[in-house]
């Protein structure tokens, strides 16, 4: 059974001026997302600035999110690491806090081989009963989990149940969807790129883990739900209209633009932590224009 179908928001982590997590702003964001039909919440992923969160605040953000959401949508905790033992620990702790699943990015910097990826993910999955989503984003990690490796993991590991595919390579996604493991229902595919939601759904994907959903939750939900209902023309129209906003949200390093966009919308999510910095004035102007054109500002 799928963890979710539709739009899962890769939620930002709001910060106060002193750099601490702003839990009042987090609650406001979550309630707005739920009111706009977001189907799942990814807490403390890349967009949530996990690399600069200490373990205690990382886990507190996950626990607080679980408490706020109260079972109204799945909570998927970002617990991936390039240190396998650390990912195991974070996944175990997230399970205790009530998370519904974990998102596990491919190892970055030290990287590994395909056999190493297999061993890494098998070890993490053995440490938790939670469903595991593998996150493939080679542009950020330098590691690409190939379709045969993902298929092998899904067949051999009961709780590895999905992949967030952000390679940007549609041919690779097609190869992934052509594996026997996918066709036998061993795992689901989620788009990890907002500009490829409909193309990936056309290959059998069931949703998106989305940055766009932070600033356009209703539209992102509708795009996927319309497609899954067979209303492909209407879904494609949203995808194409969102194109400029998707580009603007990544014209500087994520989550710099999306935090700027949420601040424009009045959510007071603060600035990103160093080494990320505030968006440039030129970037803000581009983002503001795209948000106005898409009807979210």
At 33-70, the pLDDT tens digits run: 999 999 999 999 999 999 999 999 999 999 999 999 99
Average pLDDT, the chain: 98
| Dist CA 284 CA 278 (whole Å) | 10
Q: Is 231 a catalytic residue?
A: no
What would the DSSP string read from start to end of the chain? --S-SEEEEE----B-TTSSB-HHHHHHHHHHHHHTT--EEEESSTTTTGGGS-HHHHHHHHHHHHHHHTTSS-EEEE---SSHHHHHHHHHHHHHHT-SEEEEEPP-SS---HHHHHHHHHHHHHT-SS-EEEEE-HHHHS----HHHHHHHHHH-TTEEEEEE-S--HHHHHHHHTSHHHHTTS-EEEES-GGGHHHHHHTT--EEEESHHHH-HHHHHHHHHHHHTT-HHHHHHHHHHTHHHHHHTTSSSTTHHHHHHHHHTT----PPPTTS-PPPHHHHHHHHHHHHHHT--
Candidates 118, 121, 135, 227; catalytic one: 135
Give percent of the chain above pLDDT 90: 100
Segment 128-144, tens digit of pLDDT = 999 999 999 999 999 99
φ, ψ of residue 189 to 5 degrees: the values are -115, 130
The answer to whether the Cα torsion of 289, 290, 295, 297 is positive or negative is: negative
Q: Is 164 a catalytic residue?
A: yes
Q: Say how many Å lie between the first and final Cα of the chain, rounded.
A: 36
pLDDT confidence of residue 67: 98
Segment 140-182, tens digit of pLDDT = 999 999 999 999 999 999 999 999 999 999 999 999 999 999 9
Q: What is the mean pLDDT of residues 8-27?
A: 97
Candidates 164, 227, 259, 284; catalytic one: 164
Alpha carbon 80 to chain centroid distance?
A: 12
Is 261 within 8 Å of 214 (Cβ atoms)? yes
Segment 95-115, tens digit of pLDDT = 999 999 999 999 999 999 999
Burial 248-260 (b: 16+ CB within 10 A, else e): bbbbbebbbbbbb
Residue of 85, 76, 109, 58 whose CA lies nearest to 3 = 76
Q: Is the pTM of this model over 0.75?
A: yes
The confidence band for 1, taking pLDDT boundaries of 50, 70 and 90, is confident
| Domains, the chain | 6-232 (3.20.20.70)
The confidence band for 291, taking pLDDT boundaries of 50, 70 and 90, is very high
| Dist CA 161 CA 189 (whole Å) | 9
Segment 216-237, tens digit of pLDDT = 999 999 999 999 999 999 999 9
Structure tokens at 43: 């807490």
Give percent of the chain above pLDDT 70: 100
Is 82 within 8 Å of 107 (Cβ atoms)? yes
Q: How many residues does the chain have?
A: 297
């Amino acid at each position: 059974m799928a963890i979710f179908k539709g739009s899962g928001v890769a939620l930002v982590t709001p910060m106060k001026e002193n750099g601490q997590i702003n839990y009042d702003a987090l609650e406001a964001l979550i309630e707005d997302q739920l009111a706009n039909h977001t189907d799942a919440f990814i807490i403390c992923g890349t967009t949530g600035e996990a690399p600069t969160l200490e373990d205690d605040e990382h886990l507190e953000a996950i626990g607080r999110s679980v408490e706020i959401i109260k079972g109204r949508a799945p909570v998927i905790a970002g617990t991936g690491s390039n240190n396998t033992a650390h990912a195991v620990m974070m996944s175990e702790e997230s399970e205790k806090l009530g998370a519904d699943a974990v998102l596990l990015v491919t190892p970055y910097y030290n990287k590994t081989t395909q056999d190493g990826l297999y061993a890494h993910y098998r070890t993490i999955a053995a440490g938790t009963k939670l469903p595991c989503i593998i996150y493939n984003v080679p542009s950020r990690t330098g590691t690409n989990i190939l379709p045969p490796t993902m298929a092998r993991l899904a067949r051999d590991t009961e709780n590895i149940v999905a992949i967030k595919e952000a390679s940007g390579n549609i041919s690779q996604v097609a190869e992934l969807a052509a594996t026997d493991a996918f066709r036998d229902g061993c795992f689901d595919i989620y788009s990890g790129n907002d500009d490829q939601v409909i193309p990936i759904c056309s290959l059998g994907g069931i949703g998106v883990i989305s940055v766009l959903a932070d600033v356009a939750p209703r539209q992102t939900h509708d795009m996927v739900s319309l497609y899954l209902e067979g209303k492909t023309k209407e879904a494609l129209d949203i995808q194409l209209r969102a194109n400029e906003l998707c580009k603007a949200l990544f014209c500087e390093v994520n989550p710099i633009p999306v935090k700027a966009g949420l601040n424009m919308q009045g959510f007071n999510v603060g600035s990103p932590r160093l080494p990320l910095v505030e968006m440039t004035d030129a970037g803000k102007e581009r983002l503001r224009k795209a948000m106005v054109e898409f009807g979210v500002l």
